[in-house]
Amino acid sequence: MKNFQIIKALTSASAVTNLSKETDAKFIAGGTNLVDLMKKNVTAPDKLVDINTLDLKKIEFLSKKVSIGALAKNTQVAEDKVIKEKFPLLSLALAAGASQQIRNMASVGGNMLQRTRCPYFYNTDMPCNKRVPKSGCGAIGGSNRMHAVFGASESCIAVHPSDMCVALAALDATVFVEGPKGKRKIEFTDFHRLPGNTPEKDNVLDAKELITSVEIPENNFAKNSHYLKIRDRSSYAFALVSVAVGLDLKNNLINDVRLAMGGVAHKPWRLTEAEKFLKGKTVSETTFKQAADLAMKEAKGYGENNFKITLGTNAIIEALTIASSK
Amino acid sequence: MAVKKTNKNNEVHDDSNSRRDFIKKSGLFTALALAPPSLVMASESKWDEKIASYLETVPLSIEINGTKHNLNIEPRTTLLDLLREQLQLTGTKKGCDHGQCGACTVHVNGERILSCLSLATMQQNAQVVTIEGLSKGKKLHPMQEAFIKNDGFQCGYCTPGQIMSGIACIKEGHANNRDEIKEYMSGNICRCGAYHNIVDAIMEVKEGGKLI
Ligand SMILES: Cc1cc2nc3c(=O)[nH]c(=O)nc-3n(C[C@H](O)[C@H](O)[C@H](O)COP(=O)(O)OP(=O)(O)OC[C@H]3O[C@@H](n4cnc5c(N)ncnc54)[C@H](O)[C@@H]3O)c2cc1C
Ligand code: SF4
Ligand code: FES
Ligand code: FES
């Protein structure tokens, strides 16, 4: 790892100012992704701004919404009593990610900004448009078992690896950020982006902007929520495919529904068409099957990952079935 | 350590010697080395930038197994390397060095974390407990005893991490049944496959109800 300078930020404004002064500086929160990438020389900042001193760790229940500080730890959020009661989907998704040791270190903001886990991205001897723009994509025509089936482009087919983000996309969250030009908010589903021909950008955050918090509006999905994660081993592995479901049921009628998938695209993949189809219908296996087929209609495999299309369809049906029978 | 920089014309030059020379000649070094961490770390003061750029190491106060250490370390030193390479606490193991195996698990301020992904400089004033800090004199910690009794290892390489994780697993309240233990111990990989006996050991300590 290249040596670097590190300073502690005392306020979010000074964190942003400190970062803005440098060409090659980065914020560091838990460090579980950044330190890993620095060890592999995938990224080699000259300076780190440690933001752990900032007052951004609180989980606040306000009227009709919850606000989660960007530095709240993954464990802290997953095990928060009120989060478990009102937003169990978020808690389940967080608990399905990484390991307890990593969740104790990882922050909410860092989780959103973790880079792709495409093995070629990590291997500096291989071509990768995301790491070195215009160098080519090793995964297209290469080993791509873990890769995207939705929204990929000719320059990148990687997936965003976060579980938490799939739940936040389903739950209509909003991201609050602070940058050199001031504060702004971004709808969670607009936060991460598709690769297009600029796969080096995972999201719409400016390099000098700091995530301060995430807000989730209250909802009626608590009772019938589920996060289903399918992986190569039963724990401590990235998702092959995951599904986040929130159902608002009246008897067997689907009043409202939220559906999102992980492990299938460059961003958490919200299934809006399937949601529209399900709204107003009654719970049944046939309805769930139709919704799943609709959701996977546009899916496209790249060889090794073709299996994700069938797996995805079945995972949607399974997740809806589990959520509806809770 | 050489600091290579690339200028606008993409030429690489090494400025570490000139920097060292400057520090030596300026006589600033002693003054800076004695500066309290708060001064060196304070990002708002103009000094911070200057001090940080002239020093290749940063001061760190850290408590490990009850002993306070005041050290100077390179910012890139991980907590794992600090323990093993500088403090000769080699009980904590380096398996993958990338967060994938759990061999490097230690407790920081009462919580289990991965020391390989933790920059030591970010653990200012932290209380760290490693496998070396568990026994009381010759008396082993109940979890150490349970691992021996239940054959919770073969080669033993993952064991310090498993034991640190196992203790935390109980303290967190995640050791209520075998399935829960398996899930919350999944961050500790054992190449020898001693998993069954590891779960036995943790169950035994949990049910034994001893203070851990
Ligand atoms: C072995 C392993 C397995 C894993 N498995 C999973 C898994 O199954 N599911 C899953 O979801 N995740 C998994 N992860 C990823 C893990 O969740 C992330 O590494 C973690 O969430 C990152 O958070 P952090 O605080 O450590 O981020 P850091 O590493 O500190 O930061 C990551 C990036 O975000 C930036 N950043 C951090 N905070 C802010 C902020 N507030 N504002 C602006 N920029 C910021 C940093 O500059 C950096 O670029 C795994 C990681 C490892 C190592
Ligand atoms: S899929 Fe994306 S991240 Fe992976 S090699 Fe191709 S460009 Fe790089
Ligand atoms: S050495 Fe830290 S997780 Fe493997
Ligand atoms: S005992 Fe050999 S790796 Fe676990």
Decide if A39 and B182 are in contact by the 8 Å CB cutoff: no
| Ligand 2 geometric centre to CA of A203 (Å) | 15
| Predicted pLDDT at A321 | 98
Q: Is the pLDDT of residue A183 over 90?
A: yes
Do B111 and A73 touch, CB atoms closer than 8 A?
A: no
Q: Which residue of A has its CA nearest to B161?
A: A101
pTM for the model stands at: 0.91
Residue B58 has, within 13 A of its CA and on its CB side, a CA count of: 33
Q: Would you state the CATH architecture of domain A224-324?
A: 2-Layer Sandwich (3.30)
Give chain B positions within 8 Å (CB) of A100. 112, 165, 168-169, 172, 174, 184, 187
- Percent residues over pLDDT 70 in chain A: 100
Q: Which residue of B has its CA nearest to A50?
A: B122
| Predicted pLDDT at B211 | 82
Decide if A100 and B184 are in contact by the 8 Å CB cutoff: yes
| Predicted pLDDT at B31 | 47
> CA–CA separation, B52 vs B58, rounded Å?
8
CA distances from A141 to A136, A158, A263, B33, B34 (A): 11, 13, 19, 54, 57
Could you tell me where the DSSP H helices lie in A25-70? 34-39
User: Of ligand 2's atoms, which has the minimum distance to the CA of residue A138?
Assistant: 5
Å between B136 CA and nearest CA of chain A: 25
Å between B118 CA and nearest CA of chain A: 7
Ligand at shortest distance from the CA of B102: 3
Decide if B76 and A1 are in contact by the 8 Å CB cutoff: yes
Specify the DSSP element, H or E, that contains A292: helix A285-296
Structure tokens at B186: 């999944």
> CA–CA separation, B61 vs B15, rounded Å?
29
Question: 10 Å Cβ neighbour count for B127?
Answer: 16
- In degrees, rounded to 5, the angle at the alpha carbon of residue B132 between the alpha carbons of residues B130 and B134 is 80
pLDDT, tens digit (0-9, with 9 covering 90-100), for A277-298:
999 999 999 999 999 999 999 9
> CA–CA separation, B25 vs B23, rounded Å?
6
List beta partners, residue B67. Answer: B64
Q: Which of residues 124-163 of B touch A (CB under 8 A)?
A: none
Q: What DSSP character marks residue A128?
A: B
Rounded to a whole number of angstroms, the CA Rg of chain B reads 21
Rounded to a whole number of angstroms, the CA Rg of chain A reads 19
Average pLDDT over residues A182-198: 98
- Locate CATH 3.30.43.10 in chain A: 5-52
| Predicted pLDDT at A117 | 81
All residues at 6 or more sequence positions from B149 whose CB lies less than 8 Å from its CB, including other chains: B201, B204
Query: Options 3.30.43.10, 3.40.50.720, 3.20.20.140, 3.20.20.80; which CATH number does A5-52 get?
Result: 3.30.43.10
Ligand at shortest distance from the CA of A201: 2
* Topology classification of domain B58-133: Ubiquitin-like (UB roll) (3.10.20)
Specify the DSSP element, H or E, that contains A225: strand A224-230
If we measure between CA atoms, which residue out of A48, A305, A288, A37 comes closest to residue A152? A305
| Predicted pLDDT at A64 | 96
If we measure between CA atoms, which residue out of B86, B94, B125, B121 comes closest to residue B109? B125
Average pLDDT over residues A202-227: 97
Do A55 and A213 touch, CB atoms closer than 8 A?
A: no
| Predicted pLDDT at B98 | 98
pLDDT, tens digit (0-9, with 9 covering 90-100), for A89-101:
999 999 999 999 9
> CA–CA separation, A275 vs A161, rounded Å?
23
pLDDT in tens, chain B (212 residues): 334 444 443 433 333 444 444 444 444 444 444 544 444 454 555 555 555 554 579 999 999 999 999 999 999 999 999 999 999 999 999 999 999 999 999 999 999 999 999 999 999 999 999 999 999 999 999 999 999 999 999 999 999 999 999 999 999 999 999 999 999 999 999 999 999 999 999 999 999 988 88
Q: Which one of A10, A74, A100 makes the best mutation probe of the B interface by having the most chain B beta carbons within 10 Å?
A: A100
Query: Options 3.20.20.120, 1.10.150.120, 3.40.50.11900, 3.40.190.10; which CATH number does B142-208 get?
Result: 1.10.150.120
| Predicted pLDDT at B22 | 41
> Residue A159 — very low, low, confident or very high, per pLDDT cuts 50/70/90?
very high
If we measure between CA atoms, which residue out of B180, B67, B172, B69 comes closest to residue B111? B172
Residue A159 has, within 13 A of its CA and on its CB side, a CA count of: 28
> Residue A26 — very low, low, confident or very high, per pLDDT cuts 50/70/90?
very high
- What ranges do the domains of chain B cover? 4-54, 58-133, 142-208
Q: Which residue of A has its CA nearest to B188?
A: A99
- Percent residues over pLDDT 90 in chain A: 96
Q: Which one of B4, B114, B118, B165 makes the best mutation probe of the A interface by having the most chain A beta carbons within 10 Å?
A: B114
Ligand 3 pocket list (CB less than 6 A): B 94-97, 99-104, 114, 116
Average pLDDT over residues A5-23: 89
- Locate CATH 3.30.390.50 in chain A: 224-324
Interface membership of B193 toward A (CB under 8 Å): no
